[in-house]
Every structure is written in C-alpha cells, then in structure tokens.
Chain A
Amino acid sequence: MPDAALGADALELAGPYRLLAELLSAEPDAELLALAATVPALRPHATQAAAARHTHVFVLNVYPFASVFLDPDGALDGERTALTRGVLGALGLRVAPGLAADHVSVLLDALATLLEREAAARSALDRDRARHAQRVVLLKHLLPWMPLFLAAIERADGALYGAAARLAGGLLSDHVGRLPASSHGSVPTWNAAPRGPAEPPRTERGRRDRLGWLTVPARSGIFLSRSDLAGIAGDLDLALRFGGRGFMVESLVQAASQADRTSELTDALARRVTAQRDEVAAWGRRLPQARPLWAPWLELSAATLARLGRSGTAHPVEAASASPGRGHVTGPPSGGA
C-alpha cells in the first residue's frame, strides 16, 4: 500500500482499536455493548452475559499487562510499566491517572490516538512523525506479547473476549502491513532473557520457587493461566489447589508425583509449550517483516522443552530445578547482594 493511502484510512483502524480498548479495560456497560454489537465480528457475543466473563478472563486468568509477559520477573507494575509511561509521555501521550501504562487498553487507545493524529496531520512531516510513534507503540510495546496474550484469551473465553482477541489480532496485523516498508528496516527487540536456557531467577530459592519460572513468560516462553493449569489437572485427573500460579504449578507437580504421573504431567506441559510455540510461529509466518520480534519466544520455548526433557536431551520435570552448570566448580549460593 502506498504511503499516501495510510493517512486516509487511519481512522478505519483507530475506531475499532478504541472500541477494543474500552471493551478490555472493564466490564462493559449497555452502551458499549450496543456499540460492540455494530461490529460483525463481535455481534454474536455482545451480550451482558458474555460481558460478565470480564473478571474471569482478565482479573483471574490473563493479566492484560505487558510487564507480566515481558519483564524478567513477570510481575505486575514492573519496570516496563514505568518505562512505557515514560515512552508514551515522550510521544506526547498522557496516560489517565490511576491506569498502568502497560495495560493493553492503554496501548490500544494510544494507537487509536496516534492514528487520529496521523489523520489530522497537515504536513507530510507531521504524518511521518505520527507513524513513527505508531511504530514504536506497535512494534515495541504491543506486538511482542500479543501472540501469547491473545491466544490465552481465546483459550480462556469462547465468547465476547475470544472474539475480541481475534479481532485485535487482525487489526494489529493490518496495522503492521500498512506501516511504510522502510519502517521495517530494523525491528526493535525486547530483552527476553537473551541468552542461555530459561534458568530460574537467581533470587529464588527452594523447589517451589525453582519451578516458578514456568509461570514467567519471559523465562519460559509460554503463558500459563489458572484455567490452563486447571485444564491440565482435569486432563490428568489430578487434584489442583487454588492460589498463585507458581503455587498451583507446585501443587500439580506434587499431585503428579504422588499419583506417579510425573511423566504424564511433563508431557502435558510440553504439549502446552508446543502449542504456544506454534501460535507464535504462525504470527511470524503471517508477518515476516516483524518476525524478529517473536524470535525470543521461540528460543525460550525450545529451551523450556529441553528442560522438560521433551526435546530429547534433558531430564523430566524434577530436573527443572537443576541449576545449569558452566563447567566450573562453583561456590555456595550468594548471600544476597
């Protein structure tokens, strides 16, 4: 698509972006549902009953924050939250007080706002500036985590939010395709545990914490929601205790061990890893110009499979706690620096 066409249809993307931003930010009211119902992709699910799933999806299962997916500790309100606020501020976008800047709704609304800015541009220079800003938000802050995030929503909800996730995937893909080709000369990357296997965070201790990395996307390459874990437990007929995801993983491992089903659990986890890896790979095939963005996920998921012993080299789940060696005799663990 020639550059000049972008400005003209910028608002065609901006509208649905903003609608999605509102839908994902909180349980929708009747007015918003009515607006959603005007969109064919959402129409069948735009009901109050479907909307009641908001808490289930976004509060209990699929946390809609970049920091959860991209930060090394996978926690809310992480480094990325502050970074994103700074970047948006520098791009001239003010985030409403009380909102985390790395919330998916903020980022989608930011894209909508920048598309409006582009449509309002009076000169080619202003238009280019607006596009540059879109590129930053899109490529650096949103797209890196979208494959895992959107797929997790679809797994957690078959109705309104699943449909919204599919819609978002399409919009983002279109947006990438519409940015001028020169924008793709270099794709910015994010720091996903850039080297070596997905080793546990060094501050973590003990068996339970040593499995915590499985629930940290930037270390494991996958996102496991509570409903994902419940699904695994159900498939294997294992008891599952409810709590934080790290705790739940631990309880699954214990239950599997007691039931002598460790190997089956490992297989089930490996299947999840493989499925999510395939999701990511599909995004790469669809948008080759942005493929480098997702390469870290593929490396991480490969390393995770290796650590699960399901790529033909390493040991089963129990070995996930083994510290990767460096070929040196090492001393006792740090006293904490």
Chain B
Amino acid sequence: MSSPDPHERPDAIGDEAAVGAPTGDAPTGARLLAALRGRARRAVTDAGPHYASPEGHRSRFPGPSEIGLDSHPPVESWQDWAEARAHDGTGRGRRYDLVPTLCFNCESACGLLAYVDHDSGAIRKLEGNPLHPGSRGRNCAKGPATHNQITDPDRILYPMKRSGARGEGAWQRVSWDEALDDIAARIRADLRAHQGRHVVYHVGRPGEDGFTSRVLQAWGIDGHNSHTNICSSSARAGYAFWMGIDRPSPDFAEADFILLLSAHLETGHYFNPHAQRIVEAQANGCKVAVFDPRLSNTASRADLWLPSYPGSEAAVLLAVANHLIASGAYDRAFVRRWWNWEAYLRAERPDLDPTFEAFEGVLAELYRDFTFAFAAEESGVPQDRIETLAHLVARAGARFSSYNWRSAGAGNEGGWQVARCLMLLHALTGSIATPGGFWPNTWTKHVAPQPHPAPGPTWWQDLHMPGEYPLAFFEMSFLLPHLLREGRGHIDVYFTRVYNPVWTNPDGFSWLEALTDESKIGCHVALTPTWNESAWFADYVLPMGHSSERHDVQSQETGRHQWIGFRQPVMRAHYERTGRAFRDTRDVNPGEVWEENEFWIELSWRIDPDGSLGIRRYFEAPTRDAPAEDAPPRKMTVDDYYGYLFDHGVPGLPEAAAREGLTPLAYMRRYGAFEVTAEPNARYLEEVPAAQLVDPVTRDGVVYARSGGAGYGPAAEPLPDGRSAVGVDVEGRVLRGWPTPSGKLEFYSPTLSAWGWPEYALPTYIRSHVHKDALAPGEVALLPNFRLPVQIHTRSANSKWLDEIAHTNPLWLHPRRAEALGVRTGDLLRVTTHIGYFVLPAWVTEGIRPDIVACSHHFGRWRLDDEGGGNRTMSSVVGLERSGSTWTLRRRHGVRPFDSSDPDTRRIWWSDVGVHQNIAFEVHPDPVSGQHCWHQAVTVERARPGDRNGDVWVDTQKAHDSYRSWLAKTRPALRHSPDGTRRPRWLPRPLHPSAEAYRLPDDGSPRERVAETDDA
C-alpha cells in the first residue's frame, strides 16, 4: 500500500538532488527530452497556440470553456481593459471602458457588458456581464447583436412628424420641444375634459418593472394596453386561478425531471438563463420531456418527445394526474393542507362528509376517464410514452419542474387549462416552492417599490377591458380595431411603445383601417427606435433608445434566487466616468435619440406645467413620499428616481454598496445587477407573526385580524367589521398561504364558478378550436406561433447578424402531405384562412406531425417605401391595395444590397424574407382568458396561377364577422357578475383602479349591450 502522503518522494526526479543537480549523473529534463525526441511514437503534437483571450487565465469567472472563450475581464480592470487587436501587429491592443447594461430584446433582461473604446468613444461590442445572476455572463445571439441595432443605418435618429396624409410616407423632422408641446396639449385637454379617457399607451414587451405604470397612474388614467393577450394570457389565467400568481418560475437547475411545453432550450422568454440551467440539470442526470408537434431543437435534446396534436396537451396531463391519483403517488399531506378541497366539497358535494378521505374518493372519480389510452387517442402520442411521462413525474416527486408559457396555451381555445392541468401535477406532487420544483414568480423576482406612487385611476377603460371578458388577462388589446369599429369609443392620443400592432397582431388590415381613420385614433405617437409597419401610420415617430441607450430596472424569474438588473445608457456612464458633461441622454445617444424615462418626466411636466392637475408632483425632486413643502419644485432626474429606488427598494444593496464605498446607485452603475437573495422563501409557509394577529377570527380557514395591512396573504375581501385577511389556518398554525380568496391553492375555483363558468371550475380538458372534430373537410391545423432561435418577434429585425442567419418562414409540411399535394421543398403554396390567404414556399420535413402544418413568425416584414420606413435588411417592398373591405398585399421586391454607412449592407445575399401570415388571421379571443388563440384552421393547396411568393389577400368584413362569432362565446359581466363588479378584484391587472371603478354602472352601459347592436 502507498503511504498516506503520496508526496514523500526523496528519490523523485523533481528534487534538486535528482535532476539538474550539478554534481549528479542524472539527466536534466532537457536532456531527457532530447533523448526521447528520436522515438517514433508521440501521443501529442503541437499544432500551435490559439486562444480567444490571452487574459483568460486571469479571469475571476471561469466557465465551462477551458480555452478562454468564456472568460470575462476581471471587475477590477473594467474601467481600463486592454485587449490584443487582431492582425494589429503593434501588440498595443485596444483599451476599453466596460459598462454594464441589460439586453432589451426578449424579456429575460440578461446582463450585457458594453466595450467602449477609450480612443474613439464608440461602443465596439457587447458581451455578457459575468456578474449578472440570471445570465451569468452567457448570452444568446440577440445580446451581442445589440451592436447591430445601435449601428443600424436605418434607425430613427430624430423626432419626425407626418406632413401628408397618414400612411402617405411624407415626414418632416421636428424638434423634441415641438412634439412634446403638441402631444402634451392634447393630453392636457383630454385630462381636463374627460379624465384622460382617450389617452392610451400600448406596450409590447415592457422590459421594465413599474416606471411607466407609475406614469399612467400619476396621470390618473386607465390607459395601459398591453400585448399580453396575444402572448401569455392563457398561461397567466391557468396559473392565477390556482394560486393568485400568474407566472411560473421553474427551478430547473436542481430538478430531477423537467417537462417543457415549449422549445425552451432554443427560444422563448428566459430561454437563455433557463436553458443553461436545464443543461446543468441534464448533466446531473435530470430527465427532460418535451411537448411539441414539431421536432424542435429542444425536442431533439429531450429524453422523451411527446409530439402531441395541438390542443391535446391538457388531456395528456390529466392522464398523468389520473395515474398519480390512482396509484396513490401523490403527496397526501400537501394536498390535505394546501388544496381548497373543503370549499369544493361544500360547493359541489354537500352530500358527502367534509373529510379529506371523502375528497380523495371524489378525486379518484374525477379524472378516472382520463386514461392513458384516451390521452393517446386524443394526442396521437404513443401510449407507452405517456406512461413513461407519468412515471417520470411520479418518481421526481418534489423535484419535478416544468415550463409552459406561450406555445400550447397561446395556440388553442381553452389553452388556459393547459397551465391549470400542469399546475395540477405540481399540486399533486407537492413540487411547489421546493428545490428543483416549481415556484410562483413573485417569490423569485424582485420588483422594487415605486417612490411616491400615485393611486390608481377612478374609472374603467372599456375599450381595454370590455365587459364581455371579465376574467381576461388582461386588456383585450388585439380587439381594439373591432371595438373601435363598433363605436365603443375613440382614442385621441395613442402611444405605441416599441410595439408594432399592424404586423404583430392577427388581422393587421383591421388595424390599418383603424390607424388610418382619424375619427377613431386622433393622434398616433410611435415611440420606437426603428421604422416598422405601424410607425409608418403614425403622426409622430419619436426615436427611443436601444438596450445601451436607456434606463430601466428589471428583474426576472430565472431560477431559485432573486436579483435586480439595471439597464443604463452606456455612453452616459462613460461620460460620467471620464468627466464629460451632458444634459440628458440625448447628448450621449446617437442623433437625438432619447430614453423613455426622461421623455415621460418631461412630457408629464409639460402636461401639468403649473401643477394644477396634480400630476407634476409625482415628477418632482426630491423623490420622497412627502416632498418638502418649502423646497422649490425641481424636475425629477433619473438619478433622483433610481437613487431613491436603490436606496429604499432593494434589500441588501445599500450594505453591499457601502462595503465598496459606493452609493447604491453607483454600485448598480458599476456592476449592473445585484442578487437580492440566493435563498428565496416559500412564502406560503411563513408564519404570521403574533403582532399581526390582533383579535383574530377564522372564516372558512381564512384568518382575519384587526391589525391588517400585513402585505402578503390571502386575497379575501375584508370582513364587514373591518378585519382583514392575514393568513390561513393550517392544522392549528396561522400561515401566510396563497394570494387567493381562500388562501389555499384553488383546485376548485369559486371565481370561475361564480362568474359563469362552473363547468371549468376544476382543472379539465377543453377541446381546441382546431381539434380534428372542429375542422371542416380539407382543413388542417396551422401552427403559426413558434419562434426560431435567433429572432424575437419583430424587435430583432434590425440586427444584420441575426437576419443573415434566419430570415424566412416557409411552410413546414410532412413528406406525406407534400406527396399528396405533389409539392417539393421550394414550391409555392397557397394557405387559405377563414378571412383570406397567403402564399409561401414549402419546406418538406419529417420533423413535424403529418396531420398539421406550421409556419414560424418573426418574418414577412414589409415596407411601402423603397428608401426606408422599415429595416432594409429584413423587409420586402410591397404594394397595398384596398377595395371596400378587401385588401391585397403584394411584394414588389425582396431584400437587396444597398449603400449605407455600413459596408455590410452591400454584402446582403438574401432576398426572400418570408410572408406576413398574421395579417391573414382572424381574431380568436378565448372567452375566459381573453387569449388570442393563435392556431388557425386552414386549407393548403398548390399556388394558383398568378400567385406570387409573399402575396396576402384578406377581407376585413369577414374578419369582423369572425370577431362577432367569437364574441358570442363570452359570458359577460353584466349577465354573470355575482357582485355587481366588472372583474373579480383579486385577479391581477397591470393598473389598479379604485374599488369604485370596479362597479358596473347601473344603466347597464358597458358595452355588453353592443353585442346585440349592429356594426357602427
């Protein structure tokens, strides 16, 4: 046996006495080498060194790469970082100031590090910020491509005002002052006369946590309109009805089994921070299953691929639930403590003893019909794979994690039940707020409280939240053209903020009709960094900053931790560090590009210059809840705002900053992100402190007390005697519970039952509008809502690197279908929807179910003007023709090389940039969640004579008829509200109107009556 210490080697060659010793006869190492050199066999030969980073070995941030590819500059060198220059020859290298910011492409808020060249003052590149707790220095393609966006030769650099008819394409440059004064005057007039009921802010992905909502609340308007219901309404509804929190936050890294209803390793929100954690889990033996009718890159990396027919996902999930229940493989203690089973028995089964055992008996009955065989029949997935799925879920227990956001939920009518059924599996296995399980996002995301917040609006915007959709998540924004067409109101100032409704929404021609009708939309202000299909139909186009040109705070649920990230204008930070003067971000950004924060502050001051509207005070410094009375009002600066936020709203940050001798704001400017906690609490298990239990009473398990104001806790309305809900009684202990009316996980939703949907009060399976039984003869389901890895909706179209990689969206179809049609890859097809058709090439692939077709979005961007009005690297030039209610969009030419400030635009080799399919889609508002159900029932045929690639034809009257037929599925508040309100107050909503605003008017006016009226 060897000695305990392997290094006692008196005779080793490394010793002075043995090797190289002047007196010994032993060879030196060099002599040994020489002697060995002649031998024939060598294990390794030197092909020469090549490294990504010569400094890699000094990095504090070693990653999986061992060759320097992932190394990051050490923080202490950020302000003066030297890098060797390729092919330079001088060896001098380039010196950089490294400034952290956040990516602004998808919603992940990954950390970026901008490399500002000390000599030229230009941003040379953007790489990952290794200190960012979510992305950890790693980025997807879209992060570094930010550099394309800031140097995009087609970007908008100055405020523009239209000088001809709307959409005509005649623009004149105006000053910021002129634009601001004009817009402010319109808003002021509407605020004075109509409480601002005709001012609307329509936002795409916000990329920020609370600043703009605070602005709207300060204006007192219910004017927030979001893109949510073309995106995540279904998922939100499914989760919120269970737990009062509308977003999942998987702890992938520690999971034993991950179920993805998404292509989450390659695309989607949070895919970069999530994918890296999924991969880590896989390296630790975690199994992954993927639902996807396409063989996505994610599915190809999974252990189990479930190519389910679109819309059948809930049936499969319920078969898994049935297995867990029938085999007893569920966490009985968790179910007994945390489900609202008592409420279910009281409401639905009063005939039974109110015992848990009785409930378990019922539970086994409820899902008995969801057999593996049924799920296999419904989904087309082989039964043994579904059984395997069930076993994997059962075995993972509390370490079962999942993700579901847009795909299945957003595709199908009733898709919100997908999230509800998925959550059922977590609620059965107890994999909620556990390591490796599923977390509600509010516990793993840190939103700093706003300084001096304004109360919510006192009125209700029916154009956004119409009475037919009292449970929608949230605003029915994609119906706006139809609501306007029905005469439900008009808009005087319509802000589209980094949002392109004409292109992004279904039924874009109805949007064009609304945007070109000045009686419906008085003034359209497009806040955008780049031209797009909607901005072309604006009155003002105001240039906003990209990722490296704006301030925001943002936090996202990327794992079992909590962090906050800080987006900042990079050149502003560089100016500060190098002592250069500036007034606002317009001085440091390209052209007159402004950031939104300063824009909104300035606009608010101009709306209320003397403070008489009560708005200005929310935009004064010092930013304190109670501004000093005698101090003269001063306009709030971004430093005031974020200084306050970081001083008061981020636990632990002031202390961390103090340890480095920095203010919290300076800390964030330097590092770009802060981890609030690496160990978030499972808040539902927190004990309510005795101090908050003054004179408590318990009603149906909810504990009410006079202390009130406890913050987190059940979302039950206060008792008439003034006691408010503080927690739930769980086997004798008072715990915080869940923010639902019962304080429990609502397996049974009294809300759904009371608001007209009793048949959906339990997790169940709703057949999709593209279920095979719902298709007309010859129709097939089209999946139009999947992403490709490097693009993100329309926002990334101004990135030449990304466009070069991905720029077309042919129709995926299986060889069997292709054979039946007699087409091959590249042949043109005509796809006919219920309101029109579009023409595109075929892509024949076995990576899709034979009984569906699919077409990715992102593509089919267009512009009307040869010289501009869109990104010339990614948009075709088209002609639009209107004849009554019919529209034709025809491609004049595709992308071509062009001269610009960027020599790469001469090197463009691609021309086809896809077809605009969304514009040929009717609206499909889910009657419960309000989600636009993206999947379409279509017919596919060979292109007809005269059809050309990219052609679109649509009849907007048919589109409106479709809208009316889907509207007829709703159960309006006026008829179904159990308590005379427009919407359950406990359901989330972006803005928070007063209690009074929730009351339905006595005259029956909101707008459900128009369901019976003719078109306006």
Contact = CB atoms under 8 A, between A and B. Distances in A.
B68 interface: yes
Q: Which of B32, B43, B62 has the most CB of A within 10 A?
A: B43
A140 B66 contact: yes
Given A38-B26, A335-B388, A337-B287, A117 B41 contact: no
Interface string B327-340: 11111100000000
Contacts of B42: 96, 109
B11 A337 contact: no
Interface in B375-410: 384, 387-388, 390-395, 397-399
B170 interface: no
Q: Which of A14, A91, A95, A275 has the most CB of B within 10 A?
A: A91
A129 B43 contact: no
Contacts of B51: 129, 132-133
A92 B43 contact: no
Contacts of A155: 1-2
A201 B284 CA distance: 11
A22 interface: yes
A125 to B, nearest CB: 5
B331 A329 contact: yes
Nearest to B323: A331
A334 B397 CA distance: 13
B29 A326 contact: no
A8 B578 CA distance: 42
Contacts of A150: 2, 6
Contacts of A335: 384, 387-388, 391
Given A170-B9, A286-B5, A93 B45 contact: yes
B-side interface mostly: loop
Contacts of B11: 40-41, 163
A328 B84 CA distance: 56
A275 B1 CA distance: 10
A13 interface: yes
Interface in A109-151: 109-110, 112-113, 116-117, 123, 125-126, 128-133, 135-136, 140, 147, 150-151
B44 A125 contact: no
A39 B13 contact: yes
Given A282-B6, A331-B395, A335-B388, A15 B36 contact: yes
Interface in A177-228: 182-183, 185-186, 188, 191, 193-195, 201-202
A78 B733 CA distance: 52
B60 interface: yes
Contacts of A16: 13-14, 19, 29, 32
B30 A11 contact: yes
A1 interface: no
A12 interface: yes
A191 B36 contact: no
Contacts of B732: none
Interface string A6-21: 0001011111101101
A316 interface: no
A20 to B, nearest CB: 9
Contacts, number: 260
B150 to A, nearest CB: 31
Interface string B422-456: 00000001100000000000000000000000000
A74 interface: no
B894 to A, nearest CB: 39
Contacts of B368: none
Interface in B503-538: none
Interface string B10-54: 011111001110001111111111011001011111111111001
Contact of A12 (B28, B39, B331, B397): B28
A296 interface: no
A94 B45 contact: yes
A116 B332 CA distance: 65
Taking residues whose C-beta sits less than 8 angstroms from the other chain, chain A's interface range is: 35 or more
A87 B36 contact: no
Contacts of A167: 9, 12-14
Contacts of B254: 195
A109 B7 contact: no
A196 B475 CA distance: 47
A304 interface: no
A170 B44 CA distance: 22
B778 interface: no
B398 A15 contact: no
Contacts of B50: 90, 92
Q: Which of B24, B32, B62 has the most CB of A within 10 A?
A: B32
Contacts of B287: 334, 337
B13 A88 contact: no
Contacts of A193: 284
Nearest to B328: A329
Interface residues of B, number: 82
Interface stretch (A98-106, A235-243, A256-264): A98-106
A328 B430 contact: yes
Contact of B9 (A41, A72, A183, A194): A41
B285 interface: yes
A333 interface: yes
A337 B13 contact: no
Nearest to B20: A12
B67 A87 contact: yes
A25 B43 contact: yes
Contact of B13 (A22, A41, A154, A278): A41
B6 A336 contact: no
A213 to B, nearest CB: 13
Nearest to B51: A129
Given A15-B33, A129-B51, A132-B57, A332 B41 contact: no
A330 B397 contact: yes
Contact of A329 (B58, B332, B393): B332
Contacts of B30: 11-12, 14-15
A113 B19 contact: no
A155 B33 CA distance: 29
B283 interface: yes
A283 interface: yes
B392 A19 contact: no
A131 B36 contact: no
Interface in A289-335: 326-335
Interface string B58-73: 1111100011100000
Nearest to B388: A335
A171 B14 contact: yes
A14 B284 CA distance: 36
B67 A39 contact: no
A32 B18 CA distance: 19
Nearest to B5: A282
A170 B13 contact: yes
A77 to B, nearest CB: 16
Contact of B7 (A117, A162, A170): A170
A30 interface: no
B364 to A, nearest CB: 15
A25 B41 CA distance: 10
Contact of A72 (B285, B303, B391): B285
A279 interface: yes
Q: Which of B6, B27, B84, B303 has the most CB of A within 10 A?
A: B6
14 contacts: A15-B30, A39-B32, A90-B66, A92-B47, A92-B49, A96-B45, A113-B46, A117-B49, A125-B91, A170-B7, A170-B14, A185-B58, A186-B60, A329-B397
Question: Closest 7 interchain pairs by CB?
Answer: A331-B394, A15-B29, A15-B32, A328-B397, A132-B57, A170-B12, A12-B29
Interface of B: 1-2, 4-7, 9, 11-15, 18-20, 24-33, 35-36, 39, 41-51, 54, 56-62, 66-68, 84, 91, 254, 283-285, 287, 289, 303-304, 323-324, 327-332, 384, 387-388, 390-395, 397-399, 429-430
Given A40-B26, A132-B57, A170-B13, 16 more contacts: A13-B14, A16-B14, A16-B32, A39-B19, A40-B18, A41-B9, A112-B33, A113-B45, A125-B54, A128-B57, A136-B66, A151-B2, A165-B2, A170-B9, A282-B5, A328-B429
